[in-house]
Amino acid sequence: MRVITFGTFDIFHVGHLNILKRAKEHGDHLIVGISTDDLNFSKKARYPVCPQKSRAEIVDALACVDEVFFEESLELKREYIQQYNADILVMGDDWQGKFDDLKDICQVVYLPRTPSISTTELIEIVKER
Ligand code: CTP
């Protein structure tokens, strides 16, 4: 089974590692869409700390990840799932229910987030030190 997931994975942390390892348990080939710097800027009005090439290299180096690509638009999930022949879409439960319309082309699984860690929180902690 081919599994696909998406994210920014900026300042890579253990919450990122956990979701990727758990995503891989749902199949045997894990494909990760890394959101581009421009997509993040359009969404959050700031660029990620780590540029997209570095973020993609880090994720691609993980033993549980088989393939990475750049996610250029949030509106293209259906096209990416079809292009990469994914059987299962895995998302963090911060997106609970948001991708249920894709159930006509793949299974959609929401996994619980790792508590108490996020890129946003890490940036705040570092700023305060
Ligand atoms: N994720 C997770 N547990 C966390 C943080 C992230 O499972 N504590 C998951 C998200 O649900 C998503 C993937 O990791 O499926 C990539 O999330 P991303 O938005 O890149 O990371 P965040 O740390 O949530 O970043 P931000 O604070 O900028 O939203």
Which segments of 12-114 are extended strands (E)?
29-35, 67-71, 88-92, 107-111
Nearest residue to 113 via CA among 16, 31, 26, 3: 16
Q: Which residues pair with 111 in a beta bridge?
A: 92
pLDDT for the residue numbered 24: 98
Using alpha carbons only, give the angle 119, 14, 8 rounded to the nearest 5 degrees: 45
Report the SS3 class of residue 14: helix
Note the residue count of the chain: 129
Which residue is closest in CA terms to ligand 1's atom 4?
15
Looking from the CA of residue 112, the nearest atom of ligand 1 is 7
Q: Which domains are delineated in the chain? A: 2-128 (3.40.50.620)
Which residue is closest in CA terms to ligand 1's atom 10?
92
Contact 89, 106 (CB under 8 A): yes
Q: Is 2 in the pocket of ligand 1 (CB under 6 A)?
A: no
Residues 20-71 have pLDDT tens digits of 999 999 999 999 999 999 999 999 999 999 999 999 999 999 999 999 999 9
Residues 71-118 have pLDDT tens digits of 999 999 999 999 999 999 999 999 999 999 999 999 999 999 999 999
10 Å Cβ neighbour count for 117? 15
10 Å Cβ neighbour count for 98? 12
Looking from the CA of residue 122, the nearest atom of ligand 1 is 27
